[in-house]
Amino acid sequence: MLFVAAEAGEFAGLAPRVGGMRRLRWPLDWARSGELRGVPVVLVANGAGRMLAAEAVDCAAARAPVRAVVSLGYCGALDPALRAGEIFVATELKADGRDMALPMPRVSRAFASGPLASVDRVAQTREEKRLLRLAGARAVEMEAAGVAQRAAALGLPLYCVRAVTDLAGESFGIDLNGARTPEGRLSRAAILKDALLRRRPAVFELAQLARRSRLAARTLGGFVADCEF
């Protein structure tokens, strides 16, 4: 079982539940292997965006047996009913004008579900989120389309499990898209610099996002550990 995230921090709640975890010296930002409920798993993170996520799938599939792929991490709410930290399981992936039905994990825990938009940039404003919502999605993220493309090419089933970090009615004051490197990664140094230049409101926003991200990671860990894929 292969789990693909953008950042290692998205695994903060799941990694402690993985037995015998060891580092993999693969050409990725972060890679680990171990067992989850007796099932061999590989966890990889390679940065934000679909291209880097696709590279992570290719790298892992070339080095380890994979029977299914889970795109895991954070998402932004498009539906105002979704709350910070809430688990969102995609029933359908909407990317580049195409819709792809996704299987659902078996789990006894409560979760939200529905169509997920996968776009290759941060949905920065309330207006961007509103337009994506009008197109039929309930949440948005940046990597699942790349994971889906490679999983389909390899003939592997894809699941997508996310946790909400920003709400439908919120806009980012920090320019997160401007903080991306040429490869597509989010530069923490650039984000912090932008926040400091914008002063107190942006620093508060960054601190709030960090708190929500920690909450989302913890929630994801407990939820995924109880799933059967």
Alpha helices in the chain (DSSP H): 50-61, 126-134, 144-153, 188-198, 200-225
Rounded CA gap, 29 and 171, in Å?
29
Q: Which residues contact 154 (CB under 8 A, 6 or more apart)?
A: 57, 61, 66
Other CB atoms within 10 Å distance of the CB of residue 170: 17
The CA angle 132-203-194, to the nearest 5 degrees, is 75
Where does the pLDDT of residue 207 fall: very low under 50, low under 70, confident under 90, or very high at 90 and above?
Answer: confident
Residues 6+ apart with CB under 8 A from 196: 202, 203
Residue 16 to residue 12: CA distance in whole angstroms: 7
Asked if residue 198 is part of any domain, the answer here is: no
Domain containing residue 72: CATH number: 3.40.50.1580
The answer to whether residue 96 is domain-embedded is yes
Is residue 144 in some structural domain?
yes
pLDDT tens track for 93-150? 999 999 999 999 999 999 999 999 999 888 999 999 999 999 999 999 999 999 999 9
What total of structural domains would you count in the chain?
Answer: 1
Q: What whole-number distance in Å separates Cα of residue 185 and Cα of residue 63?
A: 23
> Does 102 fall in a domain?
yes
Residue 7 in contact with residue 60, Cβ under 8 Å?
A: no
Residue 193 lies in a domain: no
Q: Quick check: is 141 in a domain?
A: yes
pTM of the full structure: 0.92
Domain membership of residue 147 (yes or no) is yes
What pLDDT band is residue 209 in, cutting at 50, 70 and 90?
confident
Per-residue confidence at 199, pLDDT binned at 50, 70, 90? low
- What residues make up the domain containing 113? 2-172+216-225
- The answer to whether position 208 is within a domain reads no
For 32-84, the pLDDT digits (tens) are 999 999 999 999 999 999 999 999 999 999 999 999 999 999 999 999 999 99
